[in-house]
Amino acid sequence: MNVLDDENGRSVVLVNHDDQLTTVIDVDDLSSLLMIRHFEQTVLELFARGLLNGTTHTCLGQEYVPVALGPLLDPDDFVFSNHRGHGHYLARFDDPEGLLAEMTGREGAVCSGVGGSQHIFRGTYLSTGVQGESLPVAVGTALWFQRTGRPGIAVAYIGDGTWGEGAVYEALNLAALWRLPLLVVVENNGIAQTTPTARAMAGDIAGRAAAFGIAHESVTGSDVAAIRARLAPVVERTRTGDGPAVVEFATHRLGPHSKGDDTRSAAEVAAEREHDWHDAFRRLDPDLFDKVEDEQRTRIAEAVDRVLARPASVWERG
């Protein structure tokens, strides 16, 4: 195993296969993936201990989606997240302490503790727990980018269940008509809360995008580097005036819908876990993987200790 820096200064692991060096995984990507994984696991543990209130929706199994997209997005691009948005936030800001402080209402919270798990606003990032709300707002932001001549794009993360909202189709209609710089990222995990997608959606997402003349890209697997290479031209075309695009990830939700309401059978959950990137990545280089995992496990544990030792946050109306 060799560790080098690529042309962008990112650490890349290379392993020898049949005397040929082959890029396997970017260490920075692996760190982000494992940071998000341990953050989400910790959130569920904190709820079980009675240290968090309200609800939360973890992205266990789906962490690779925002990690793959992250380097393709510019700081000025506006990202719209949803109820299952911790990974989106952490991939963009690498700020587990700020998010944990927000969720526990402690000093240092991203939004002074009033947004909680689902409603976060920071710079060019906004999440909401209202299903389908972000897409029309993203269209308005994309229109602003277009009319002001700014190079940014609006990126809206939605799930397969969101395609039951009428606002989605109104938004897509306008985005297509006006050829807006909008990227719709669909995390299709096959189940909307407790309803399998096949029981609620006629046709498919590709067909619905096609009805508006919007480009659709289907992504399977969790190879972060391969996904990023495939989507780079899609993002660039959206950025340079080619109109909106829908990128659909066939992904897998390993955890419950929210903090403890998984209606799937043990066999169904086990089948989902067969697709977990965590085990697949570990097999590539167990020693390196375990080292990075220990680092991120420790990082999150220490962040929890620091945050829970802080006083309550104070929200002052401006």
Task: Please report the pLDDT score of residue 18 as a whole number.
Answer: 45
> For residue 157, what is the enclosing H or E element?
strand 154-159
pTM higher than the cut 0.75: yes
More confident call, 190 vs 302: 302
83 burial (CB, 10 Å; 0-12 / 13-18 / 19+) is buried
More confident call, 18 vs 289: 289
CA distances from 28 to 20, 23, 45, 60, 304 (A): 23, 14, 26, 19, 22
Q: Which residues contact 146 (CB under 8 A, 6 or more apart)?
A: 178, 179, 180, 181
More confident call, 26 vs 318: 26
Looking only at the bridges linking them, the beta strands covering 215-219 and 245-250 are: parallel
Give the number of residues written for the chain.
318
In this prediction, residues 158-163 reach a mean pLDDT of 89
pLDDT-based confidence at residue 1 (cuts at 50, 70, 90): low
Task: Please report the pLDDT score of residue 4 as a whole number.
Answer: 53
For 79-112, how does the pLDDT look when each residue is reduced to its tens digit (9 = 90+)? Answer: 999 998 999 999 999 999 999 999 999 999 999 9
Domain boundaries, the chain: 55-284
β-bridge partners, 215: 245
Task: Please report the pLDDT score of residue 21 as a whole number.
Answer: 41
What DSSP state is assigned to residue 197?
G
% of the chain exceeding 90 in pLDDT:
64
In this prediction, residues 11-31 reach a mean pLDDT of 65
CATH topology of domain 55-284: Rossmann fold (3.40.50)
